[in-house]
Amino acid sequence: MLRANFHTHTTFCDGKNTPAEMAEAAYRLGFEQLGFSGHMDPTYHMDFPAYRTEIARLRAEYAGRMDILAGVELDQRWLAQSVAGAEYVIGSTHFLTGADGEDAAIDWTFERSEKLCREVYGGDWYRMCAAFYDEEARVAERTGCHIIGHFDLISRFNHEHPAFDEADRRYLKPALEAMEYLAATGCLFEINCGALNRGWRRDVYPALPLLKALNSFGASIIIGSDAHEAGLLNGGFDEAVRRAMICGFKDTCVLAHGADGGVVCRRVPLADCLSAETERES
C-alpha cells in the first residue's frame, strides 16, 4: 500500500484534527512519510511560524519512526513570501474575481459558483472554465510550487450539478493548454482524492481524460488524499493508484528528507502501492 501523504490539513487551518492527532493516526496506518500542507489563502491563512514550530516538534518526536515534512498549500492569490521556510509547496487555484472585484471561491457551494458564473460570465460556464484554466496556468510562476494541486477543481460540483460537458472542446481545450504548459515546468501533478473520499465526486482530480493527457505530456504524479481529518489520511488511495495505472503511469513520487536534511523526491512503483485487499480483488 501507499504509505505516504503530503496533502493534509489540521486545526491550524480548516482541518478537524490537530497535527499531533494526524501524526498519531498516520503512524498507526504504517505511514513512512507524512507531509503537512496547511492552507495559505485569502480565506484560511495560518499562523505560519507557530505551524512550523509544531511540525518541527513532531518531526523530532517521530524521528526514526516516520518522516514528517512541513509543507503548505499556497493559493496563487496569497503572498508567496508568507511561506518562507516551507519544505514544499502545493500550488492551488481556489478563486476567481467576483462581480464586486473581490476573490470568489469556486469550490465552496454550487450556488456560489452558479452566482459567480451568472454575474461575471453571463451564465456561460465554458467562459468561466476558460477563465479558471487561464488562472491555473499561472499557478507555478505565482507560487513557486513543487506540486500542482487539484488541477481541475472547477469541476468540483459538476457530478452532482451538471453545468457543463467535460468532454466538450470548449472545456477541454483551455484545460489541456494549461496542463501542457504546467507539465513543462517540471512540477509534480497531484492526483487528489479529497472530493472522492468525502463523497463529493465520483472521480479524483484530474478526471480520467485529463489524467490520460497528463501522462502523454510526460508529467510525474504524486498522490494526496487532501485529508481534513485523521480518518481520511489514506482515503481514496487505491482508486487513485488504479486510475493512474489505467492512464499508463508506472510510478508515483514520494517526498522524504535526504541524508543532508533536504527534501528529495523518490519514485515508488504503482504496482507496490495497492493495498493487499485490493490486490486480492484484482
Answer yes or no: is pLDDT of 68 > 80: yes
How far CA 111 is from CA of 117, 136, 157, in Å, comes to 10, 22, 10
pLDDT band with cut points at 50, 70 and 90 for residue 276:
low
User: Model's pTM, two decimal places?
Assistant: 0.96
Element (H, E) at 157: none
pLDDT tens, 193-225?
999 998 888 899 999 999 999 999 999 999 999
- For residue 53, give the CATH number of its domain: 3.20.20.140
pLDDT band with cut points at 50, 70 and 90 for residue 275:
confident
Query: In angstroms, how far is CA 227 from the centroid of its own chain?
Result: 10
Range of the domain at 230: 4-281
Across the chain, what does the average pLDDT equal?
96
Say how far apart CA 57 and CA 19 lie, in whole Å.
10
Split into its structural domains, the chain has a count of 1
Answer yes or no: is pLDDT of 278 > 80: no
For residues 38-73, one letter each, b for 16 or more C-beta atoms within 10 angstroms of the residue's C-beta and e for the rest, the string is bbbbeebbbebeebbebbeebbeebeeebbbbbbbb
Answer yes or no: is pLDDT of 279 > 50: no
Phi and psi angles of residue 222, each rounded to the nearest 5 degrees, phi first: -140, 140
Say how far apart CA 14 and CA 104 lie, in whole Å.
18
pLDDT band with cut points at 50, 70 and 90 for residue 281:
very low
Percent helix, strand, coil in the chain, to 5, is 40, 20, 40
pLDDT tens, 73-98?
999 999 999 999 999 999 999 999 99
Answer yes or no: is pLDDT of 251 > 60: yes
Say how far apart CA 120 and CA 127 lie, in whole Å.
10
